[in-house]
Amino acid sequence: MAKIENKDIIEAIKEKTILEVKELVDMMKEEFGVDPSAVAVAAAPAGGAAEDAGESTKTVVLKEAGAGKLQVIKVIREITGLGLKEAKDLADNGGNIKENVSGDEANEIKAKLEEAGATVELK
């Protein structure tokens, strides 16, 4: 059997909805007896400390979808990989689009969303 590369696994996960990813995590817990979120939480401080030495991170927050809501939903799905329902909920209610991203990436995301007609804030 051919070995699957980590990058191929990541690409496959990007195409899944949040619900599908949750089901995958639950299956991993059952199969391996390990909670992968505990590993991610334990690893986060080390990555965060190194990042603090560089540029600061930002959170992209959607305040309002505006008149072009359908286009905003498409952009949200493109940026986050969320399913249609999850992206629509974000467009309807606002909220964090992406957290802890570099300043450059945050500005790119903000520009895409504003081009689609959304009101966006960086925190």
Domains of the chain: 6-53 (no CATH), 57-122 (3.30.1390.10)
Query: Cα separations (Å) of 16 from 65, 68, 86, 97?
Result: 24, 25, 12, 17
Is the pTM higher than 0.85? no
> What are the CB-based long-range contacts (under 8 Å, 24+) for 15-21?
15/81, 16/81, 17/82, 17/83, 17/86, 18/82, 18/83, 18/86, 19/83
The token pair at 64 is 């309002």
pLDDT tens across 51-76, in order?
444 458 899 999 999 888 999 999 99
pLDDT tens across 72-87, in order?
999 999 988 888 999 9
